[in-house]
Chains A and B, each alone.
Chain A
Amino acid sequence: MPNTALKVDHVTHYFGGLRAVHNFHMELPQGVIWGLIGPNGAGKTTIFNLITGVYTPTEGKIYFRHNKHGNEVTEDITRYKPHTIVSKGIARTFQNLRVFNNLTVLDNIRIAGHFRIQYGLYDSVVRNRKFKEEEIKLREEAMKLLEMFNLHSRAYTLAKGLPYGELRRLEIARALATHPLLLLLDEPAAGMNPKETEELMDMIRWIKKEFNLTIFLIEHHMKFVMGICERIKVMDFGETIAEGTPEEVSNNPKVIEAYLGRKK
């Protein structure tokens, strides 16, 4: 497929003797929102960690299509380190928030732009024009992003002083500050009430359009997944047990069994 953004090619991963993921295969087209669901311990977050380079798969390969000097290339990113993968254009959020608590909201965003910074140690010591121009650019970009997420009034607050909902927004904004092509969201609706979940769905649709992204997300909240995802993959005990549109998946007996147990 020419417009595949991410190809996870029959990936298997072991933690010691435990097979966390078995033969996971996915070809994620550009510009879609797909979901990954499954009971606790199914291996969903492991998939994210494999894609982002936190773990290296025991078997299988991962390919990512991105821009390299203006040309679209598909690159094997299986053995890359996480920070390299981020620079290729894959960003993620975490299941349990991982913002930099003791830093300001603005710094949280600016750190995500660090790998694009061109100046070095020498430039920052002497504070030359190159340093100043890049710093201004980085700050303006960060403030613009904060404004989009309605966090600009909080720019100089320490992140730990933010309420939960704003922390969630900050984490997504931080991921977007790395200029991703593909955004991985790990349980974005965790801990949200129905109204907040509703708003989050609108926000994710807006982000996708605004930043021209491909989105792949993990979620437990069924209404959320069914409402936003075009296609869903279902995992249980490391195996892919079902795949399809929300309707197909929700009527699949295997899925119902995995979530609710077998009918006696």
Chain B
Amino acid sequence: MSGKNSIMQNIVRFLKSRNGKILIGTFIFWLILYPLNKFNVMNNYWMHVVNVSLIFVILTVSLNLINGFTGQFSIGHMGFAAVGAYTAATLTTLVWKVPSHGIVAYTAFIGALLLGGIAAAFIGFLIGLPTLRLRGDYLAIVTLAFGEIIRVIINSIDFVGGPRGIPGIPRFSTFTVVVVVTVLSVIIMKNVIYSSIGRALLSIREDEVASELVGVDTTRYKVLGFTVGAFFAGIGGGLLAHLVQYINPLQFGFMATIYVLIMVYIGGVGSISGSIVAAIGLTFLSEGLRFGLDKLNSVTPFPVGPEWRMVIYSVLLVATMLYKTNGLMGDREFEVLIPEEEDENAKHSA
């Protein structure tokens, strides 16, 4: 009797905690959108946009881990996503040839997704070791080059279709799968950031010399941050491949990285919350402008096409840099993303 009570108490206590609130929030989010799509109130197109925006949350937070938290300016992020996407898609579509339904197929997909992440992390580790001696612009150039090298190598591998890419990937990234993987990824990265390891990464961003001289092995932690970031880029890439059902090397080009980079900077360097808001907001803005600009076209005397999206994007970025240097969220976080023990206010009320 009392045993049963204490289990209930533990569940209630967990649900009242911030992690519990994340869980409840996610569930409500799913509970609203899933039936909306099921009963066709919200069509598949907008559901697709929701899925893409969530995948971009993973990509943006993981790039923020490298650029914002560790302070290493990397612009080869989509290269890692490409490794993840190609590894996962090659396994599911070309090697295992899994069917598109069933528990076995899904297990295989989860395995492929993880292996994709691990492959990306491994490549990140290999690239990180020699390049992270460089700083600032030099590091940016080298990561850019490596990102392109990865793309060009994939382009020339016949087995994965070369420039034609891989068509006919089964659609495993359903709304439910994307939500679960995104929330898990964000929580894992949040847990890394709010630990001694995360503080070591932050200290490298703040002052590398001082960090080394209070005992942080800066080389090791720079590579670690880079590897973890690459891992989640790989997971994001794998999800994207199984959502769009077709990948080719061009999708993972430099412009795609810039797209994620803009999300990081508009959202705020060193803020998980900012990355989430910016990834979702900008994906929707981008899709909304597709329609908005078309409508505008019929009103204005000169032609305004959807290609003006990129102009608006650039203006947004420039405006952010001029008027809100730290991005939307700066170094701030939503309360639920900060562990209770790290929050002064929560500590006093407890």
Contact = CB atoms under 8 A, between A and B. Distances in A.
Given A114-B200, A121-B224, A156-B344, A86 B191 contact: no
B202 A107 contact: yes
A107 B342 CA distance: 10
A79 to B, nearest CB: 15
Contacts of B214: 86, 91, 111-112, 114, 174-175, 177-178
Q: Most chain-A Cβ atoms within 10 A of its Cβ — which of B200, B211, B214, B217?
A: B214
A111 B195 CA distance: 10
Contacts of A119: 195-196
Interface in B172-212: 188, 191-192, 195-200, 202-203, 206-207, 209-212
Interface residues of A, number: 42
Contacts, number: 98
B197 A100 contact: no
Interface string A146-165: 00000000011000000000
B217 A115 contact: yes
Contact of B206 (A82, A100, A139, A178): A100
B123 to A, nearest CB: 18
Interface in A84-104: 86-87, 91-92, 94, 98-103
Contacts of A112: 214-215
B158 interface: no
Contact of A111 (B200, B228, B341): B200
A52 B331 contact: no
A217 B305 CA distance: 68
A102 B331 CA distance: 9
Nearest to B194: A124
A178 B196 CA distance: 14
A103 to B, nearest CB: 6
B212 A100 contact: no
A71 to B, nearest CB: 22
B216 interface: yes
Contacts of A94: 210
Interface in B312-337: 331
A246 B238 CA distance: 69
Given A110-B196, A121-B192, A100 B216 contact: no
A80 to B, nearest CB: 12
Contacts of B283: none
Given A98-B207, A112-B215, A138 B188 contact: no
Given A111-B203, A124-B191, A131-B195, A83 B344 contact: no
20 contacts: A82-B213, A83-B215, A86-B213, A86-B215, A99-B210, A100-B203, A102-B206, A110-B199, A111-B199, A111-B211, A112-B215, A114-B216, A117-B196, A125-B191, A135-B196, A135-B341, A139-B341, A155-B344, A177-B214, A178-B214
Interface of B: 188, 191-192, 195-200, 202-203, 206-207, 209-218, 224, 228, 270, 331, 341, 344
Nearest 4 pairs of A and B residues by beta carbon: A124-B195, A115-B215, A100-B206, A86-B215
